Amino acid sequence: GLYRLRFQFSPDNVTIEATPESTTEQGDDNAAREEFHAYKWKEVPEGYEVVYEEEDEELRLYRIDYENSKSNFIHYMQNDVSLYTTSITYDEEKGYKHKIRLRDDLEAYSISDGRRNTIFYENDGYLFEFMSDQPEETILEYIEMSGVLEYEN
């Protein structure tokens, strides 16, 4: 990757910040930047519907929120790691934090604040965030179903 992610865990959140791999070639980042490519879900989990969707090429982010009739939710966000510092809710006491492998070459963090569980990872210069009130296993099923991992760079 062009960026190294720095994670700062505090008792109630994790902050994710990107630092450039090399400091020698500062140059004009924007000139070399490829156009934003939103990694959209290939299918919606059963029983859920889209309640919010936003795609902004200029801000280089895509987000979508799903809900079902029981008010369960799935929040998905993709953004350019170099432009944002992201903060995700987390709770040291009520929740958990560990690394998981999504693919042989792709490691993710799985964190929780006891109510909301989030799996996030960096790929292709983007930060991907899957948050839900469902357990980790279910979120992993959503990630699988979304097809987001299958996009070719």
- Predicted confidence (pLDDT) at residue 3 exceeds the cutoff of 60: yes
CB 76 within 8 A of CB 130: yes
Strand duo 3-10 + 13-20: pairing: antiparallel
CB 13 within 8 A of CB 33: no
Mean pLDDT across 38-42: 96
The pLDDT score that the predictor gives to residue 31 is 44
- Predicted confidence (pLDDT) at residue 33 exceeds the cutoff of 70: no
CB 119 within 8 A of CB 109: yes
What percent of the chain shows pLDDT beyond 70? 89
| Residue 124 or residue 33, greater confidence | 124
The pLDDT score that the predictor gives to residue 34 is 78
Q: What angle do CA 80, 16, 82 make, to 5 degrees?
A: 30
Beta strand extents in the chain (DSSP E only): 3-10, 13-20, 48-56, 61-68, 73-80, 86-89, 97-103, 106-112, 117-123, 126-132
The pLDDT score that the predictor gives to residue 135 is 97
Binned at pLDDT 50, 70 and 90, residue 153 comes out as low
The pLDDT score that the predictor gives to residue 101 is 96
Which segment of 16-25, 44-53, 71-80 scores lowest on mean pLDDT?
16-25
